[in-house]
Each structure stands twice: as C-alpha cells, then as structure tokens.
C-alpha cells in the first residue's frame, strides 16, 4: 500500500479529569488514548491522507483499546507488532486554568512500546511512502528504541523519503546531556526539524528572546530547515536560509495536550503539498482548533481547518 506518511512511536492510555477536578478526589476518571506520533497520524488520516503507524502494543484489553482508537480514524496498523508480556503505558492528567499548571504523570516503564527493536519491527511500510515522521520521545524510551530510530531513518533515507523530526524533549525520560547528543544526531539526519523555544532553551542553552533562534538551531543541527514554535508568541522558521515568522492565533483553551502534534500534522501537509509556509499556517490553525477539544487528538473536519486558515470564524453554527 502506498502511504503518504509513516510515523513511529508509543501510544498510551490517558486517564484524566476535567478542569477544576483533582485526581486524588475525583469520583471517576475519563479514558482516552494519546501519543505524539499517533496523534500526528490521526490528524493526517482525518484529512484523507494515507498514514501508517509503527509501534508495539501489548496483547491485552488496554492494547486493543489503543489500537481500536487509532484505527477508527483511518490509520493503518499493519506495522504494529504485538507483545505477549509487555504492558500498556498510562498517563494521568489534571487539566486546569491559569495560573495552576496542567499536571501530567506518566506510568510507562517496561511498556510494550519500550521493547520495540530492530528485530521485532516491520519496515515494509517504509518501502512505499513519501514521508517518515519521528519525534524525540521514541529514542528516549530504551536502548533498543534508540537503535530502532536510527535504523528507521537510515532505511527511510535509503528509500529517498523525506524525514521529519519533532524534538519533543521529555525530561522525565532522559538527561539533558543524553538528549542533546541523540536529538542533535537525529535532527541532522532529517529533512525538516520542528522544535519549541522551550526545548531549545532547556537542551541547548538558548534564550527565549534569542534573535534568529531558528537559524541558530539550524547551525546546531547542521540542518537548513528548522521551524520553531514560541507558544503565544507565534512561529519562526529558517527554511533553506529563508527566514520568517508568523504571529500566534488567539484561542480559548480547554485542553492543550496534543496541540503541538496538530501543528506538526499541518506542517506535514504543507510538506506533502510542496508549500511549507502554507503548512505552517495550516498547522497553527490545527493547533488552535485542538486546544478547544478535549483529548489528545484533533477531531476536526477539513472545512473547520480551512475556515480558520481563511479567517472565516463562525462562533455558532445552527
């Protein structure tokens, strides 16, 4: 099957309470599924793109719950392997309003996805696709996933695929030193890199107000194509030496988790269409829409995204 995009990474079961509730006193927890690369795959599949997700899941109720939720949005799971002795990763979320921060607690040690390796992964989906997408979360899961990420990129490049990399630094998974080294290597192998200004500060010591941050990261990664997201300050980029920026779009947030993945999906759409700047604009619109939806996935229609990109905002549709 010909795929537009193949992603590689872990998805987990999300257990959460809404804004204003605390897990320690909540009478019930809501259940959904999330994971950076799976979120990207879902957002792309919902636009009609052909997408495959590489991962490993436990052969259990929770593993099947994850698979069913990713599959229902149109994502191909033929590259998912199944483990008889692993477990599904969990994460617990307390949503909140300013100034209380959102709280996320992960319980993912020894998950089936952390057991992914070169020997138990199916690379056939890379033989006939256009773009391979990876984030900095997957190589941090274990030594075998680190090796897997390097091998997957090697195969993708041998197939002349475009490779996109989202830095997605997670301090709970590895040290700054280890992350800096591996992320710099993977970013240098990519066709396009996306990084938050927060990650640039934590990993490489840049300042938030650093001028030309995207250009400086291009030098850091030895990669001419870097996009930097600055939260409420918008987006900046250095694409083949051409610098630019775009302001943030206003939004009211109910759940910010997954917004970065929605932005990444928009960028990928632009890459597939040969219009990266258009993809950045689309990604900003998709991230804004995601912030207004509970859960990690962008569950929006093409018309909703297009309307926002074109400035056609409808507050009430009857």
- Tell me the pLDDT of the chain (318 aa) as tens digits: 699 999 999 999 999 998 889 999 999 999 999 999 999 999 999 999 999 999 999 999 999 999 999 999 999 999 999 999 889 999 999 998 777 888 899 999 999 999 999 999 999 999 989 999 999 999 999 999 999 999 999 999 999 999 999 999 999 999 999 999 999 999 999 999 999 999 999 999 987 667 789 999 999 999 999 999 998 889 999 999 899 999 988 888 899 999 999 999 999 999 999 999 999 999 999 999 999 999 999 998 888 888 888 877 666 555
CATH number attached to the domain at 3-9+36-85+116-309: 3.40.1190.20
Under a CB-based contact definition with an 8 Å cutoff, are residues 257 and 18 in contact?
A: no
Determine the pLDDT at residue 314.
61
| Cβ neighbours around 316 below 10 Å, total | 4
List, for residues 244-269, the tens digit of each pLDDT value.
999 988 888 899 999 999 999 999 99
Q: Which of 166, 199, 255, 261 is flagged as catalytic? A: 261
Q: Which residue from 32, 90, 37 is spatially nearest to 65, judged by alpha carbons?
A: 32
List, for residues 42-51, the tens digit of each pLDDT value.
999 999 999 9
128 noted as active-site residue: no
Please state whether the predicted TM-score (pTM) of the whole model is above 0.75: yes
């Amino acid at each position: 099957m010909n795929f537009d995009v193949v992603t590689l990474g872990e998805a987990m079961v999300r257990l959460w309470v809404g804004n204003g509730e605390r897990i320690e006193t909540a009478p019930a927890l809501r259940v959904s599924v999330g994971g950076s690369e799976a979120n990207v795959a879902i957002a792309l599949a919902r636009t009609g793109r052909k997408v495959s997700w590489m991962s490993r899941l436990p052969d259990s109720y929770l593993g099947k719950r994850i698979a069913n939720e990713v599959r229902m949005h149109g994502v191909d799971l033929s590259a998912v392997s199944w483990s008889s002795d692993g477990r599904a990763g969990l994460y617990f979320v307390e949503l909140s309003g300013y100034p209380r921060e959102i709280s996320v607690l992960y319980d993912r040690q020894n998950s089936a996805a952390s057991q992914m390796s070169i020997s138990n992964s199916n690379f056939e989906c890379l033989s006939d696709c256009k773009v391979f997408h990876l984030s900095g979360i997957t190589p941090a899961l274990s030594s075998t996933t680190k090796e897997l990420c390097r091998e997957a990129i090697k195969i993708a490049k041998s197939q002349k695929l475009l490779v996109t990399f989202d830095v997605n630094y997670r301090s709970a998974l590895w040290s700054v030193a280890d992350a800096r080294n591996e992320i710099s290597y993977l970013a240098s192998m990519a066709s396009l890199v996306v990084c938050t200004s927060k990650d640039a500060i934590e990993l490489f010591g840049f300042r938030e107000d650093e001028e030309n941050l995207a250009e400086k990261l291009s030098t850091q990664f030895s990669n001419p194509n870097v996009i930097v997201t600055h939260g409420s300050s918008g987006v900046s980029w250095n694409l083949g030496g051409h610098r630019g920026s775009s302001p943030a779009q206003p939004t009211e947030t109910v759940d910010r988790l997954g917004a970065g993945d929605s932005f990444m999906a928009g960028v990928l759409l632009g890459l597939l269409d040969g219009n990266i700047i258009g993809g950045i604009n689309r990604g900003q619109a998709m991230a804004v829409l995601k912030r207004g939806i509970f859960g990690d996935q962008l569950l929006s229609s093409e018309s909703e995204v297009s309307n926002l990109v074109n400035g056609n905002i409808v507050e009430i549709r009857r």
